[in-house]
Structure 1
């Protein structure tokens, strides 16, 4: 009984839906040539601002340690998606920024997100799709969470 309750609740459905979205997005990105990316990379990249972000900030946003974020950044750097440069506001710190390949990833990721949303709209229908989005936004508003969080 307890195990069933642990597995069947709205939180678990939201986590599973998020994972399904992320796996599908990664598959589509890999089909577009982004074969070096893993789920860990694609879970970190949305937290990187287009103007660059410090690793400590990336770690906080992604809910991971600075060391884990640093490892992922190093891997992304090896694959040419990001580069580190001095932070103009603090000479002691480094800022992670997208490279040309990183910008291409951003463009491809936007196309992939739109394609997945189109698939979801088709599956659910416009009314259910709009209702799902409105319900999720209402829950986030209830907890004072903004779009960027």
Structure 2
């Protein structure tokens, strides 16, 4: 029996899907002998792959402090996974990118992600997976300013 709920579960379902993807990625990388990133590291890499390069924005996206982000970046720089260099557009800021030495790990992760996509196509059906991709890749517009719900 499903528990009663009074709100849509879209965010919960999306979050569960992100966790599933991340756990599958980590499990497959570990199986193939790669160092397994933490979920925070994995989400950091995903943000950088999406084009986010500023530490302050990366920290905000991951919901961690700037100090924690600086420590995380420093660790990944020491491991030759990331590069931190002055942002050419703002010398006060840093730009975070992937280190060239991380290319084999990134390629392995891309292969796992491709395999996961193919697996989901089989499990969910190509039409459903295509519809899901279309829906979540759309521009959802600016963040809405919703009026507070009236309390009864």
Query: Residue 71 in 1 paired to residue 71 in 2?
Result: yes
Cα 1:47–1:131 shift into 2, 3 Å: closer
User: Matches of residues 1-149 of structure 1 in structure 2 within 5 Å?
Assistant: 4-5=4-5, 9-48=9-48, 53-137=53-137, 140-141=138-139, 143-144=140-141
Which has the higher mean CA deviation after the structures are superposed, 21-30 or 41-50? 41-50
Q: Distance in 2 between matches of 1:125 and 1:95?
A: 40
Higher helix share: 1
Normalising by structure 2, we get a TM-score of 0.74
Flag structure 1 segments of 5+ consecutive residues without an equivalent: none
Taking the aligned partners of 2:19 and 2:51, their CA distance within structure 1 comes to 27
Equivalent pairs, count: 140
Where do 5+ consecutive residues of structure 2 fail to align? 143-152
TM-score, normalised to structure 1, is 0.75
110-119 or 53-62, larger mean C-alpha shift: 53-62
